[in-house]
Amino acid sequence: MSRTKTRPQPEAEATAPRTRKREKTEFVWRRKHLLSLEELSREELLHILNTAEEFSDVSKRSVKKVPALRGKVVVNLFFEDSTRTRTSFTLAAQRLSADVIEFTSSGSSVAKGESLRDTAQTIEAMGVDIIVCRHRAAGAPLDLTRCIDTCVINAGDGQHEHPTQGLLDLYTIREIKGKIEGLTVAICGDIAHSRVARSNLWGLTKLGARVILVGPKTVVPSAMRELGAEISHNLDEVLPEVDVINMLRIQRERITSQVFPSVEEYSRLFCLTSQRLSRAKRDMLVMHPGPINRGVEVAPEVADGPQSTILRQVSNGLAVRMAVLFLVNQAAASKKG
């Protein structure tokens, strides 16, 4: 990937967010798709986080809009349910002044047997600029990039990755802790079926954190050690040494066999209760990507407590998604130019 500096496109130059706190780098973003955090370099990850930091100001203004994507069309192409990601991408695109089309498979011609490729090519033919895709099949957004020319952003593909969730988690940790390098981060729960765990693991290890994957043996694949993670099956043992814990939902929709005896048994061993929290560092952050099963992975008083960052993660998601939409559009414009 080239690191040479080129002049930004005129539109991007005129509408780029104001630089503040962090030193401006020579880095030039080149990717017109965002498919995973696995494919990103440390430099690219930091560039997205720094761009998001600049966009975070927009939501604090009385007029919460900038013209960065004026005249552009963003399509939310969602084949799976979503509350946070879909709403956040919609609002992010609107704050950048794009037109937004909402697509859901129910009520569309997918119900008549139309394929993902045919659906995407049909939507592209209407002149869209960015497709945000969520799909139950791992690799579906990558497949789209092979049959259409439009920018593609992965909004969660099966058990593979959820890159913007990983980015907003990184952003939230850095915002509160002031750094990521050197922190110990535990990711606890159903790791095997979690795209959030994979994106977090790639992002955190590239930015220098120590990552411990915690959960029952049946849902924490030992092969993930090869990706740079440590593994533990005992939450109580791990808790006192971690700076951040990311509690994951049991992905009932993706589990095909019985992976633990019962939800009650799982909660007894892995639910973050206030009793467990009392044995952790007092400034440990409690994260959760949502949706939460209260009382299963996190006790209600912990989810709503002072160490919880759950709603802050949602707020930060907006700035992160504005940054991603802005950057992929900029890269597409520079390729055309």
Minimum distance, C-beta of residue 313 to ligand CP, in the bound complex (Å): 8
Catalytic residue among 32, 47, 95, 134: 134
Minimum distance, C-beta of residue 268 to ligand CP, in the bound complex (Å): 25
Q: Based on the number of CB atoms within 10 Å of its own CB, is 82 exposed (0-12), middle (13-18) or buried (19 or more)?
A: middle
Question: Hey, what are 27's tokens?
Answer: 């880095």
Question: Hey, what are 281's tokens?
Answer: 């560092």
Of 247, 294, 328, the C-alpha closest to 72 is 328
| Cα–Cα distance, 306 to 237 (Å, whole number) | 23
Question: Does residue number 216 form part of the binding site for ligand CP (CB under 6 A)?
Answer: no
Q: Which residue stretch of 30-38, 89-97, 146-154, 284-292 sits at the interface with ligand CP (rule: CB under 6 A)?
A: 284-292
Catalytic residue among 30, 84, 177, 233: 84
Q: Based on the number of CB atoms within 10 Å of its own CB, is 115 exposed (0-12), middle (13-18) or buried (19 or more)?
A: exposed
Residue (134 or 210) nearer to ligand CP, CB: 134
85 included as an active-site residue: yes
Q: Which of 10, 291, 295, 300 binds ligand CP (CB under 6 A)?
A: 291
Amino acid at 9: Q
Residue (233 or 294) nearer to ligand CP, CB: 294
4 included as an active-site residue: no
Supply φ then ψ for residue 120, to 5 degrees. Answer: -65, -40
Catalytic residue among 15, 51, 85, 119: 85
Question: Does residue number 234 form part of the binding site for ligand CP (CB under 6 A)?
Answer: no
Residue (9 or 316) nearer to ligand CP, CB: 316
Question: Does residue number 311 form part of the binding site for ligand CP (CB under 6 A)?
Answer: no
| Cα–Cα distance, 301 to 61 (Å, whole number) | 32
Task: Name the packing angle between helices 84-95 and 310-336 (round to 10°).
Answer: 50
Edge-to-edge strands, sheet with 285-287: 230-232, 210-214, 184-188, 244-247, 285-287
Looking only at the bridges linking them, the beta strands covering 130-135 and 184-188 are: unpaired
Residue (28 or 138) nearer to ligand CP, CB: 138
Minimum distance, C-beta of residue 312 to ligand CP, in the bound complex (Å): 14
Residue (37 or 333) nearer to ligand CP, CB: 37
Question: Does residue number 163 form part of the binding site for ligand CP (CB under 6 A)?
Answer: no
Question: Does residue number 290 form part of the binding site for ligand CP (CB under 6 A)?
Answer: yes
| Cα–Cα distance, 229 to 334 (Å, whole number) | 37
| Cα–Cα distance, 19 to 267 (Å, whole number) | 45
| Cα–Cα distance, 231 to 221 (Å, whole number) | 9
Question: Does residue number 104 form part of the binding site for ligand CP (CB under 6 A)?
Answer: no
Residue (206 or 288) nearer to ligand CP, CB: 288
Question: Does residue number 154 form part of the binding site for ligand CP (CB under 6 A)?
Answer: no
Supply φ then ψ for residue 133, to 5 degrees. Answer: -115, 125
Q: Within positions 37 to 96, which residues make up the interface with ligand CP, using CB under 6 A?
A: 82-85
Q: Which residue stretch of 213-221, 256-264, 287-295, 299-307 sits at the interface with ligand CP (rule: CB under 6 A)?
A: 287-295
Minimum distance, C-beta of residue 287 to ligand CP, in the bound complex (Å): 11
Q: Which of 40, 98, 145, 156 binds ligand CP (CB under 6 A)?
A: 156
Binding site residues, ligand CP, CB under 6 A: 82-85, 156, 162, 165, 289-291
Positions marked active-site: 84-85, 112, 134, 162
